[in-house]
Chain A
Amino acid sequence: MTVTNRSRNSSLVRFVLLPLFFLTVMLLGGLRISAEGHAFIFVAPPLVTLVLAVLLMLLFVRGRLIELKRWLASDRPPLTNISHGWMLLTLFFASAQAFNSVLPERGLLHWLFSFFFLWTLWNNQFSSFDARRLLRSLTVLFGTAFVLKHILLASLYTPDGGWLKKVAGALLQGVSLGTLDAPAFAPATGYISFFTLALYVFGLLLLTFASDDTIDEVVYTDRLALRESVQEKTLSTDYADSRAPRNADAL
């Protein structure tokens, strides 16, 4: 009964919960609230975020957060492979939108942030990672980008002039901030981005457990098959042994 419940819960996480979480990240990652009128602004993921998402997916595979052989295999039922493939697709787009959420929308800062993300992810490709360390590293990466964009830069571009704007004005006296131009959004944008990133990291955490469960399930099935074959072998040996003395007596 415990095994059945465990299998059912694992299926719910892998086939329903994880795709729903990642799709929600996909929806909210590009959502901004305008400072004037508080209207929704949907920002489609820029091309660079797709490149970043590809690098991140490679990192997931290298860090064994996604074990492709466990998720997609020829000996699995087609429906399971399709469901797992779909889940991985939602993870890809959620990753792109998570980057979109913490990237400045335009200007020099957009390219600076993109460059630093690319640099970090490219360097990480050659580091040794396990799933949990990778998750910690990603949390720090997204956390830093969130603080930079939604706290520091938001203060810089706030219409009424935040503390950072005054400091920057004093430091960059005579230098135009035109190249560092970024649109100002309502504070709600920061809250949405925080929720989006939290959901994304939580989804990755669940994915780690789901991967473990998948492995456990495979190991469990193998063990069950092994036990059954041993039992069968033992039974046939016992049967042969029980028959042997009779034959000997008959002789």
Chain B
Amino acid sequence: MKSKFIQIAGLALTIAYAVFIIWIYATEPRTFKEVANSAEVAAGTYQINQEKFDSGYSLFLREQFRAARDEWQRADPAQGDARTQFYIAYSFYREGWGRVYYDQELFKQGVEAANRAANLASTVKLTVDDPNLQLHTIAELKAELEQGTERSWSDVNPLKVLRTRK
């Protein structure tokens, strides 16, 4: 009877440990802090640092996009919050937007951030009710960023200079 109990307990314990190892190799955390953050995301108890998020938002409104992204990355080190990733993508859009041309590198990074946000908000639709933004959903932002990375004949249209930043 005791041996059976040891067998069942051993199996349960070691299978749980094996799952943890597979998860570690799948998520590839770089520090112990990232391990803890990833575990929080997996457990659904992850929360961003609201103070840093607000600080980033105020920088964003002052058009200091790089500084804003830096703050948001600190607010969401595990890249596990859809809303923060949305704002990061938006900051790439605003910084990369130009009346004559778009910065391709920034737009590509924006698409990556928008994809992260889309993956995180795959179950619940995310709508950001922010009066300072003109794009309120991930799909709108992603479409805008992707359009900016595509090359077409409309790029040589001189009337393009009349377009506005969203």
As a 0/1 sequence over residues 6 to 18 of chain B, the CB contacts with chain A under 8 angstroms (1 = contact) are: 1111110111011
How many A-B pairs have beta carbons closer than 8 Å: the answer is 61
A: which residues have CB within 8 A of B? Answer: 4, 7-8, 11-12, 15-16, 19-20, 23, 26-27, 30, 39-42, 44, 79-80, 82-83, 86, 90
Q: A27 and B3: CB pair below 8 A?
A: no
Q: Which A residues touch B7, using CB under 8 A?
A: 11, 15, 79-80, 83
Residue of A nearest to B17 (CB): A23
Q: Which A residues touch B8, using CB under 8 A?
A: 79
Q: A42 and B25: CB pair below 8 A?
A: yes
CA separation between A27 and B6, bound complex, in Å? 23
CB distance from A115 to the nearest CB of B (A): 26
What secondary structure prevails in chain B residues at the interface with A?
helix
Q: B14 and A7: CB pair below 8 A?
A: no
Q: B14 and A27: CB pair below 8 A?
A: no
Q: A82 and B14: CB pair below 8 A?
A: no
CA separation between A232 and B28, bound complex, in Å? 63
Q: A20 and B25: CB pair below 8 A?
A: no
**A-B residue pairs in contact (CB < 8 Å), sample of 22:** A7-B3, A8-B3, A12-B6, A15-B10, A15-B11, A16-B6, A16-B9, A16-B10, A16-B13, A19-B14, A19-B17, A23-B18, A23-B21, A26-B21, A30-B25, A39-B31, A40-B29, A41-B28, A42-B24, A83-B10, A86-B11, A90-B14
Residue of A nearest to B13 (CB): A16
Residue of A nearest to B31 (CB): A39
Contact A20 to B13, CB < 8 A, known contacts A11-B6, A42-B24 = yes
Asked whether B2 is an interface residue with its Cβ less than 8 Å from the other chain, the reply is: yes
Nearest 5 pairs between A and B by C-beta? A15-B10, A39-B30, A19-B14, A16-B10, A11-B6
